[in-house]
Structure formats: C-alpha cells, structure tokens
Amino acid sequence: MSENLPPLARLLGLVERHFLKALAAGAALALGAGFAIDMHAKAPLESFGGFYALAGFVSLSTVLIVARLLRALLGRQEDYYGRSAVNAEQYPADQLEVRDREP
C-alpha cells in the first residue's frame, strides 16, 4: 500500500529498511578497528580488541533475559492497584489535542 507520506518520513522508511545492513557493516568496522588500534587498556581484559563488542553483546542479552524473568515474577494486571490507578486509566482527553494528519 503506498501512502502519501512526507519526504522526511520516506527517508526514515528508507533508513529503517536498510538499517540491519548498515548495522552489520558498522559492527564489523568497529570490531576490526578494535584489533587494529591500541586500546590503551587500563582494566583487566580491556586489551582484547573485541572486549567492548563482547561487553555490549553480553550486557544487552543479559538485560533481555533477566527482564523476561522479571516480568514473569513481578508482572501483574494493569488494574492491579485498582481501576482508578494511573496505570489503568486513560489520559484525560480534554488536556490533549489528539489529531490525525490531514491527508
């Protein structure tokens, strides 16, 4: 379906479509550079050229795995604190200007 989108949105769409390829190239470049230059290591393991790549990958993976467990453990219904709690209520419409883009 083609939509009449603003030029900036079309550009963002293009970025979204090619993001993974750019990511792969950037990651490979950064990893290669890590082995090519002196990383001025201060911390243990920091001298390994791919240390930060490993740290980034492991950290994000850890966050995602622990977060799943956390939701299983601490997740409750939206109205757990009552139907009138902020989490369960809608934002007052009279304080907003909800509007769709004009075609």
**Residue 2: both structure tokens together:** 């083609």
Pick out residues in 39-58 that bind another protein (CB under 8 A): 39-40, 42-44, 46, 50-58
**34 lines the binding site for another protein (CB under 8 A):** yes
We find the least distance from the C-beta atom of residue 25 to another protein, in angstroms, to be 10
What separation, in Å, do the N-terminal and C-terminal C-alpha atoms of the chain show? 15
**18 lines the binding site for another protein (CB under 8 A):** no
Grouping H, G, I as helix, E, B as strand and the rest as coil, residue 16 is helix
We find the least distance from the C-beta atom of residue 10 to another protein, in angstroms, to be 9
* Torsion angle, alpha carbons of 22, 27, 33, 36, to 10: -130
**71 lines the binding site for another protein (CB under 8 A):** yes
**81 lines the binding site for another protein (CB under 8 A):** yes
| Three-point CA angle 85, 89, 92, nearest 5° | 125
**93 lines the binding site for another protein (CB under 8 A):** yes
**Whose structure tokens read 């993001």?**
19
We find the least distance from the C-beta atom of residue 49 to another protein, in angstroms, to be 9
**14 lines the binding site for another protein (CB under 8 A):** no
